[in-house]
Structure 1
Amino acid sequence: MSTMKLSGPSAVFLLFFCSVWRRSGASHPKPACRYPPSQWCRSLEIAIACNVQKQCMEVNATRLNQDVAPVSVVLFYESLCPACRAFLTQQLFPTWTMLQDIMTVTLVPYGNAKEIPSPNSPFTCQHGEPECRGNMIEACIIHLTGDSAFQIINCMESAVDVLNAAQPCLQLFAPSVSWSSVDSCLKGHLGFQLMHSNAVMTRALHPAHTHVPWVTFNGEYTQETEDSAMSSLFHFVCQLYKGVKPPVCSGATVRLNRSFC
């Protein structure tokens, strides 16, 4: 599949981790650590390699333990659409960074593209051939990098040149994935298969999409939900979540055990 579904560590991971890191007096990670901070607690092996086992245990202890389903957010978009780029980088990614304990994100790069019966270029895109390539690059990255994909794509969409940012963004957030694997996806059948899957998902929308970005919440789209998402996605996700709201939703502070020197 070329779509991306993400749920991650604690919604306040970065803020809390920095606090824990400062008060623990820990040194910088070992040279063997080849992962960005956002992935240090992804697995025990990474935590050991980066010498952050204790900090990760404290982060895990703050996670919500609930059986309530997270809010499902699906974004249908185009890689070079200015409105899509603004929504992804200014609303969706920051909201996910803070609320990833109570929401999942699925990215579907296709948008207003069209599938045509041509062996050489089976897709046409609203913003031309570069956008078709950008869509396929992001589809391949989603397929190959899993949980790191959203960070990579946010990095790309935040750059002045989306396509040329792909390789350095991949190296930054998924250093274990080689660019050659992405290139093979682009030049082989896999890339076209992933884009076809995205085309099928986009065409199956009900109601049919009329523009992008097009966002569904828990599988549904209405004009009201779109208005709420575009005006304040963060508050809308907090509102939709049926479980106990995380403190960040209410603005309440989280009191931590602290020590000072």
Structure 2
Amino acid sequence: MKLSGLLAVLLLLCTVRISSGGSHPKPACRYPPSQWCRSLEIAIACNVQKQCMELNATRPNLAVPPVSVTLYYESLCPACRVFITQQLFPTWTILHDIMTVTLVPYGNAKELPSENSPFTCQHGEPECRANMIEACIIHLSRHSAFRIISCMESSADVLRAAQSCLQLYAPSVSWSSVSSCVTGGLGRQLMHVNAVMTRGLNPAHTHVPWVTFNGEYTEENEDKAMSSLFHLVCQLYKGVKPPACSGAPVRLNRGFC
């Protein structure tokens, strides 16, 4: 039996079990739309099985690796903020099935042998704090991290927006856990890892935002990314291009009321 057929059978069986058992009432949907198709259980809980099956039918071949995009940046760098909010996040929102994003907040910072002030940053102490907050959020919130970071970077005040953006996109992650990460040793460890990753770039970075694709940096790709990251990701993906890349309409078997 094909995987799609097996999934359909599983969906049907699970739906029957939930609807027929009086002692097993259908759970309420407690998940944001971005997670509805993350698993079979969530799809059933949110009553979107059919829609998720249709979505899966149009997804690219999972055997083809996605385009790996890694951004080395500073939290308060104006150019970094523009790239995140106007290029990287919008592109990922549409093409997340064929690309992965890794965020490395550090940029032009310097790591110092000091317990009280282990880092100095291009835009001062507020940026060092914001870098560490974002590093902790990335570590603690996992799948929701990019949405939180984009929310922060698109705000008028990155630091002030941190807590509300976290509550909006990752309500299960407490702000106290982020604060503990920042003030404790974990935050410094995370920033040290980012420092090592940034220092290990080859060629060495000369500015931020600094973007690598599948672990490699070229000026040509950087120029393309700054003007149209969306088209570059479509170009670099080796599998069958998703409909969004060609602009071709997708016919789905939809019903209407």
TM-score range, shorter chain: 0.7 to 0.9
Output the CA distance in 2 between the equivalents of 1:60 and 1:223.
35
* Contact preservation (8 Å) 1:71, 1:241: yes
Match of 2:146 among 118, 141, 150: 150
Matched with 1:230 is 226
The CA RMSD measured in Å over matched residues stands at: 1.6
Measured after TM superposition, the shift of residue 257 of structure 1 is 1.8
Output the CA distance in 1 between the equivalents of 2:237 and 2:51.
28
Note the alpha carbon deviations across 1:163-206, whole angstroms, 9 max, x for none: 11111111111111111111110111000000000000000001
Q: Which has the greater radius of gyration?
A: 2
Measured after TM superposition, the shift of residue 102 of structure 1 is 1.1
* Contact preservation (8 Å) 1:35, 1:173: no
Output the CA distance in 1 between the equivalents of 2:108 and 2:234.
30
Note the alpha carbon deviations across 1:31-51, whole angstroms, 9 max, x for none: 944432112222334334434
* Contact preservation (8 Å) 2:58, 2:242: no
Unaligned runs of 5+ in 2: 1-25
Matched with 2:246 is 250
Residue identity matched to 1:248: A
Are 1:178 and 2:174 counterparts?
yes
User: Structure with the greater relative contact order (CA < 8 A, sep ≥ 6): 1 or 2?
Assistant: 1
Output the CA distance in 1 between the equivalents of 2:238 and 2:169.
32
Output the CA distance in 1 between the equivalents of 2:128 and 2:220.
30
Residue identity matched to 1:125: C
Matched with 2:51 is 55
Residue identity matched to 2:43: A
Matched with 2:135 is 139
Q: Cα gap change, 1:259/1:54 in structure 2, threshold over 3 Å: closer, same or farther?
A: closer
Matched with 1:68 is 64
Match of 1:37 among 33, 40, 48: 33
Matched with 1:105 is 101
Output the CA distance in 2 between the equivalents of 1:143 and 1:96.
19
Aligned-pair identity (%): 83
Measured after TM superposition, the shift of residue 55 of structure 1 is 3.0
Residue identity matched to 2:177: S
Match of 2:115 among 98, 115, 119: 119
Matched with 2:165 is 169
Match of 2:198 among 196, 199, 202: 202
Tell me the TM-score normalised to structure 2 length: 0.86
Local SS of the residue matching 1:72: strand
Residue identity matched to 1:90: Q
Q: Cα gap change, 1:60/1:168 in structure 2, threshold over 3 Å: closer, same or farther?
A: same
Output the CA distance in 1 between the equivalents of 2:156 and 2:206.
27
Matched with 1:18 is none
* Contact preservation (8 Å) 1:70, 1:103: yes
* Contact preservation (8 Å) 2:60, 2:98: no
Output the CA distance in 2 between the equivalents of 1:82 and 1:222.
22
Residue identity matched to 1:58: E
* Contact preservation (8 Å) 2:36, 2:42: yes
Local SS of the residue matching 2:254: coil
Structure number with higher helix proportion: 2
Note the alpha carbon deviations across 1:67-117, whole angstroms, 9 max, x for none: 111111100000010100000010001111111111111100000000011
More displaced, 220-229 or 131-140?
Answer: 220-229
Aligned length: 232
Output the CA distance in 1 between the equivalents of 2:164 and 2:31.
14
More displaced, 193-202 or 97-106?
Answer: 97-106
Q: Cα gap change, 1:124/1:31 in structure 2, threshold over 3 Å: closer, same or farther?
A: farther
Output the CA distance in 2 between the equivalents of 1:222 and 1:104.
18
Measured after TM superposition, the shift of residue 222 of structure 1 is 1.4
* Contact preservation (8 Å) 1:156, 1:169: yes
